Amino acid sequence: MATPTVADGIRVCYLYGVVRADRQPLLDGIAGVGGTPVSIVESGSVAAVVGDVAREDLAPPTAEPDDATWLERAVLAHEHVLEQCLEPGPVLPMRFATTLRESDDVLALLRERETEFSTSLERLRGRREWGVKARLRSSEALLRRVRMARADLAATEAGLENRSAGAAYLARKRLDQEIGRAGDDLIARLVNGAHERLAAAADDSRLMTSAQPRKERIFLNAAYLVAEAGEQDFRETLDALGAEHAEVGLDYELTGPWPAYNFVADEAQL
């Protein structure tokens, strides 16, 4: 898989991830980034999942430099390939748009870092990543719970009708702020406890943060590395949390399984 120069630009060797050589995924008919076929480059005990991709497919179209559609399409193709790799065993996922010049460079990489890759793959053997998010499904349910737990706030609210309009308005604003803080404190305690219980049912965990603005608040966004033998226990723990916290309006979403994006050490990537 040399790197030819063609009329529409330069082609590169796109590296999706690294797998065990004895646990290679079936990739026939799988289209990767740029719609190109995916193949395997093997060396020793490890193998790389690669594609021959036009470099122009890794950048926005010249005619529409602000169009994000190309990026979404390419990222989804990248993730699709990695999900296929997960079927027979663990995969070390590489970051989107990781490229080398040609397949000989991939072979050199595998030879140089075979021990490192093998160690990381062994750690992931029999384990998969799951994502959990917690959202507030019903703010009314949360407010009811806060009023039940905080008799002082309920009493203050009941006394507003005895105040003048101006005083009641200011008191209401202060009360709403206090109720909001109490609600946030309650949610924080619940999701922190939820994370501790989920982490105890997993082999490893990561709390995630996002810089992207969202219309809805996400109170828990975490990834968990779970042994396949323990996935049922993990699911049961999550189901129990959902039932316990339903009266507060918290809703838990489970996604996965995913390649272990959040549990691959930096040294296992390029």
What confidence tens digit (pLDDT) does each residue in 76-104 have?
999 999 999 988 889 999 998 899 999 89
Q: Give the count of beta carbons closer than 10 Å to the beta carbon of residue 33.
A: 24
| 4 pLDDT higher than 50 | no
140 and 254 belong to one structural domain: yes
Question: How far out from the chain centre does Cα 62 lie?
Answer: 30
Residue 235: C-alpha distances to residues 7, 151, 193 (Å) = 52, 36, 16
28 and 148 belong to one structural domain: no
113 and 81 belong to one structural domain: yes
120 and 149 belong to one structural domain: no
176 and 243 belong to one structural domain: yes
Q: Give CA–CA dist 230/27, Å, rounded.
A: 28
118 and 142 belong to one structural domain: no
Q: Which two tokens stand for residue 106?
A: 């991939």
135 and 227 belong to one structural domain: yes
Which among 90, 125, 160 is the end of a domain? 125
pLDDT band at 55 (very low <50, low <70, confident <90, very high): confident
What is the 8-class DSSP label of residue 31?
Answer: B
* Residue 175 or residue 262, greater confidence: 262
208 and 223 Cβ atoms separated by less than 8 Å: yes
Which are the contacts of 135, defined by CB distance < 8 A and separation ≥ 6? 216, 217, 218, 219, 250, 251, 253
Query: Domain span at residue 150?
Result: 128-263
Residue 83 falls inside a structural domain: yes
Any idea of the CA torsion for 102, 108, 111, 117, to the nearest 10 degrees?
Answer: -60
End-to-end CA distance of the chain: 20
Which among 90, 108, 125 is the end of a domain? 125
**228-254 pLDDT, tens per residue?**
999 999 999 999 999 999 888 888 999
Q: Name the residue among 106, 117, 102 with its Cα closest to residue 45.
A: 117
User: How much is the pLDDT for 1?
Assistant: 41
16 and 52 Cβ atoms separated by less than 8 Å: no
Residue 270 falls inside a structural domain: no
107 and 167 belong to one structural domain: no
68 and 151 belong to one structural domain: no
Sole residue written with tokens 């916290």: 245
User: How much is the pLDDT for 2?
Assistant: 40
**Total structural domains in the chain?**
2
SS (H, E, C) 145-212: HHHHHCHHHHHHHHHHHHCCHHHHHHHHHHHHHHHHHHHHHHHHHHHHHHHHHHHHCCCEEEECCCCC
User: How much is the pLDDT for 5?
Assistant: 34
Main-chain phi, psi angles of 234, to 5 degrees: -60, -45
Q: Give CA–CA dist 227/224, Å, rounded.
A: 10
85 and 106 belong to one structural domain: yes
Which among 125, 142, 172 is the end of a domain? 125
Residue 268 falls inside a structural domain: no
